[in-house]
Amino acid sequence: MERRKILIATKTYPSISTKYQETVCTAGVLLDDDEKPIQWIRIYPIRFRQLDFDKRYPRWSITSAKIERNDKDYREESWGHLTFVESLNLTPALSLVRRGSRNFVSPMVYLQN
């Protein structure tokens, strides 16, 4: 598993799964070491309520996590098997939102063929 920086954009309402119990799907932005955006990512499945309380992530937080490609999903943006390592800093992400997240995410517009 790779350790990566992720800006958490949003997560879905928990849904019940027979295979994974209760799960959420999370959308985020993969960041480089300088916290510049690389690409949109989708992380699934995450058993959010089963995470330790200090490992739960709010929207617009930057976290460092171990993730790997989801080999059961053909979509380029799909990742899975998330192990949170640490929350980094909430302040830069909140200031990014206040300035306008459009400027941050515009270079990563996802185009399908």
pLDDT digits (tens, 9 = 90+) for 21-44: 888 888 888 888 887 888 888 888
Helix%, strand%, coil% for the chain, nearest 5: 20, 45, 35
Which pTM does this prediction carry?
A: 0.74
pLDDT digits (tens, 9 = 90+) for 44-93: 888 888 888 877 888 888 888 888 887 888 888 888 766 665 666 555 56
Domain extent listing, the chain: 2-99
Beta bridge partners of 55: none
CA 26 to CA 16: how far, in whole Å?
15
Helices (H), strands (E): how many in the chain? Answer: 2, 6
CATH topology of domain 2-99: OB fold (Dihydrolipoamide Acetyltransferase, E2P) (2.40.50)
